[in-house]
Structure 1
Amino acid sequence: MNDRLPHEKGFHISWDQIHRDARALAWRLDGKGPDDGAWRAVVGITRGGLVPAAVVARELDIRVVDTISVKSYNHQTQSEPHVIKSPQADVMGDQGEGVLIIDDLVDSGRTLALVREMYPKAMFATVYAKPLGRPLVDSFITEVSQDTWIFFPWDMALQYVQPYRGSEN
């Protein structure tokens, strides 16, 4: 039995690391679009997908960027996902064909399953993937175990940490 809290098996991501990993995701997606390798648009799943979507759009020179807002977490508790805001219909075209849908992480896969049902022809990519959600993404950069909690830089603040052994005095 695992008595650890979600944050005790943590994977801490810095701003530099998310930038490097999002660029790596862009490189992996480059030339894979249906229009002679090009993509029509990038759609970030808010909120976590905003930063990687911006990096991917920049790296691939994609000027059409939109969002879909899906709420599936209340702090660290996961609930049934529901769409709060959809992307513009003209951006999504024919069921998302030619559109990259980007998120920071696929965990259980419930958020991506909902969005994939709406836009089955889109390409789904995440920076990080857990085993349960991995089958729902077309591309990702790093896989972490299902019981790992990822701490993203936009959720963190720098603070003093007491030394492991003793004190500084």
Structure 2
Amino acid sequence: MQDRLPHEKGFHVSWDQLHRDARALAWRLQGLGPDDGYWRAVVAITRGGMAPAMIVSRELDIRVVDTVSVKSYDRQTQAEPELIKAPNPEIMGNQGEGVLIVDDLVDTGRTLELVRALYPKAHFATVYAKPKGKPMVETYITEVSQDTWIFFPWDMALQYVEPYRGRD
């Protein structure tokens, strides 16, 4: 049996699956906000957190939405996280209290570690979580193994793929 290359241990997420999982995240977050169960704002970690944050904000009727931009990957290589853009300070208030910070995935947790240091009272939620990063989030939907690469719909194109066996 032939071993697979590391990138071939993949978890492919379609737009439909992402939508279902982000709605499940919203359902799990419903009623957890500190203001009678409501959240003051949603902050998406760009770029991957933008689609899930939009869905969560719609489902929970949160009208105040902002972004925080952290660069932690150079293509598929993880690098030192760097803050590029912070959310509006008025939105973040008292260290992020009452704010829901949403990302698509927590991998090693280094991105969220940087954001959590800035806003320690915010609630961190991701759609997908890997074991190393899981302690950095309060809420997530699906756990995948650390050595799995998640292929998100915004990174994919439809194309023919050779079968594992044979070429009929």
User: One fold, TM greater than 0.5?
Assistant: yes
- The 5-angstrom pairing of residues 60-139 of structure 1 reads 60-139=60-139
Residues 123-151 of structure 1 show CA distances to partners (whole Å, capped at 9, x for unaligned) of 00000000000001000000000000000
TM-score, reference length from structure 2: 0.95
Task: State, as a whole percentage, how many aligned pairs show the same letter.
Answer: 76
- Could you tell me which amino acid in structure 1 is paired with residue 64 of structure 2? V
Query: How far apart are the structure 2 equivalents of 1:6 and 1:83?
Result: 29
> 1:22: which partner in 2?
22
Deviation at 1:161, TM superposition (A): 2.4
SS of 2:125's equivalent in the other structure is strand
> 1:35: which partner in 2?
35
Structure 1 stretches of 5 or more lacking a match? none
Q: Which range is displaced more, 148-157 or 4-13?
A: 4-13
Query: How far apart are the structure 2 equivalents of 1:124 and 1:136?
Result: 7
> 2:166: which partner in 1?
165
Deviation at 1:160, TM superposition (A): 1.9
Query: How far apart are the structure 2 equivalents of 1:153 and 1:165?
Result: 28
> 1:52: which partner in 2?
52
> 2:141: which partner in 1?
141
Deviation at 1:4, TM superposition (A): 5.0
Tell me the C-alpha RMSD between the 2 structures.
1.1
TM-score, reference length from structure 1: 0.95
Deviation at 1:162, TM superposition (A): 3.4
Aligned residue pairs, count? 165
SS of 2:55's equivalent in the other structure is helix
Residues 87-135 of structure 1 show CA distances to partners (whole Å, capped at 9, x for unaligned) of 0001101100000000000000000000000000000000000000000
Residues 27-85 of structure 1 show CA distances to partners (whole Å, capped at 9, x for unaligned) of 00001000000000000000000000000000000000000000000111000001100
